[in-house]
Amino acid sequence: MNRQKIVIHLDELSIKGSGGNYLVVNTIPNIDSWRFSHETAMRLCDERATVKFLDLSFLDPSTNFFYLIRKIIRNNLQTRNYERRILDELRVAPIEICKVGIFQKIRYFLDLSGVSNQLKAKPVISVENEIAIKSWLAVSSGSTHYKWDVRTRVNLFRANRSIKWTNKILDIYAFDSSLEGIFTFNGRFPVDSTLLSRAKVSNTQTILFDGGSLANNNRNRIQYFYTSPHNPTEIRLKIQEYWESTNATNRHLIATNYLNDISEGKRSLGTTFNWNPNSTKSMINARNSVVFFASSDWEQGAIMKWLPSTGFRNQFEVVDALLDICSDLEIDLLIKLHPIRKNFKGQKSIKAEEEAWKSYSNLSRVQIISETEKVNPSGLVADSLINVGFRTSITAQSIYLGRNTAICAHVPWVSDDVNFLYTPDKESLKTAIERAVDDKQKLQDSSSLNQWGYYQAVCGSEMKFSEIRSGQFRILKHFLSS
């Protein structure tokens, strides 16, 4: 079949030839996923497409039977509930709502087939769904270093059940050979990952949506991706596209303002955490030390697919290499853990994060700076011998401040061919640190970050059909008046 092609330009959608049949699937039970799904469906209608909408958020492994009960009560009692309002808007568009009946949902939550074997037998993760399941286990456990205890085995059962029922419901309600494109959220968890697998088999184009720039606490921007929000190659292409879309004066001003803000601690680096620039503890001395800035461990499962087949595969491999290098060079290693949410999807992530790093805490010449300590990372960046990171964007701040930097994975803010900056293996990392010790490390021109800084400040297109202001959700634009 000659598939119509969806084109993304500056995070706006267009369809070659117009029209076509498309499926928009909401897979996450939160307001942002609902809003992005609604926005996408309405934009497709503007392109004169035939659109189906399917809500599979109840299949997310974090949900349970009590979630379903609460949702039924809430939807009936709260007439201003955002889910009901969005569904009402979609019906007017008109968009076909693929409604999953309440009995199907109850059957899903009561499906415990295989749970006893899952709790007793050796855990098995299918190759086809490996990334999605490991991403979910990392999120639900708070770390990629999860133990195969009862809770983790139950989470594995939930993930497998989600995948099985996603396939069942797609067969019954929505997935057929006439579909020319599928839109869903992020792509890294069991439900949306199953959608991508089904689309690949049938040669159906997929587009993933996610949030855009959070500059000025704006939650009303949306981005679209052909492959993944975690693919540095695609992000680099988007960065270039944004950079070339505006005049030189405007883009340099916006980029400089953004980079200045992050270097002074006024703006967070791609997260919702704000660091206090006046909170540095005087007892932590980073001078003549290597500082490794850790990423949130639970987020690392999603990036495995986009890592090269050689070199460092995760941040713990980087730290193990640093232990040997620092021991040989007789210098100290500081490990700054990432600020983290105390509670993510019901799990105590701080405890899991600390457990993952516990084995390094008693080593000589190694200091762990926990996520709960009020330490200003900007101070560590400015004082250290060299700043090292796997995929943390604080290395961009280090480059901007003209500090010695080593980046041990593919990242969007620096190309892989920059000498003494991209250090994907132990040998190149050791060379970078030795040059820093000898004061020969090649400092980078911070102007190389301008394109990334501009993208971070403006990425995503402004949402047209809904917004959140001061914590309040409202419909912006009705289809009949669009």
Q: Which amino acid is at 347?
A: Q
In sequence order, which residues have a C-beta less than 8 Å from that of residue 252 and are 6 or more positions away?
450, 454
pLDDT tens, residue order, the chain (482 aa):
445 588 999 999 988 876 789 999 999 999 999 999 999 999 999 888 999 999 999 999 999 888 878 777 766 555 458 888 898 888 887 899 998 989 999 999 999 988 888 888 778 888 778 888 888 888 887 777 788 888 889 999 999 999 999 999 998 876 777 888 999 998 888 999 999 998 988 889 999 999 999 877 788 999 999 999 988 889 999 999 999 998 888 899 999 999 888 777 666 555 434 444 444 443 567 778 999 999 877 776 667 677 777 789 889 999 999 999 999 999 999 999 887 654 444 445 556 667 778 888 888 899 998 877 777 777 888 889 999 999 888 898 888 888 899 999 888 888 766 656 888 999 999 999 999 998 766 556 666 689 999 999 999 999 999 999 888 888 887 655 44
Q: Is the Cβ–Cβ distance between 7 and 13 less than 8 Å?
A: yes
- Round to whole Å and give the CA distance between 445 and 452: 14
Bridge partner list, 207: 183
Residue 417: how many CA atoms within 13 Å on its side-chain side? 0
What per-residue confidence (pLDDT) applies to 261?
84
CATH 3.40.50.2000 residue window(s) in the chain: 248-457
What per-residue confidence (pLDDT) applies to 276?
47
The reply to whether omega before 94 is within 30° of 0 (cis) is yes
Q: Is the Cβ–Cβ distance between 306 and 317 less than 8 Å?
A: no
- Round to whole Å and give the CA distance between 280 and 430: 28
Residue 295 is inside which H or E element, if any? none
What per-residue confidence (pLDDT) applies to 340?
61
The reported pTM is 0.88
Residue 333 is inside which H or E element, if any? strand 332-336
State both tokens at 337. 């853990």
What per-residue confidence (pLDDT) applies to 457?
93
- Round to whole Å and give the CA distance between 274 and 103: 44
**CATH for 248-457, options being 3.40.50.620, 3.40.50.2000, 1.10.4000.10, 3.50.50.60:** 3.40.50.2000
- Round to whole Å and give the CA distance between 141 and 125: 16
Angle of helix 190-201 relative to helix 150-169, nearest 10 degrees? 40
Helix (H, G, I), strand (E, B) or coil at 246: coil
- Round to whole Å and give the CA distance between 459 and 237: 12
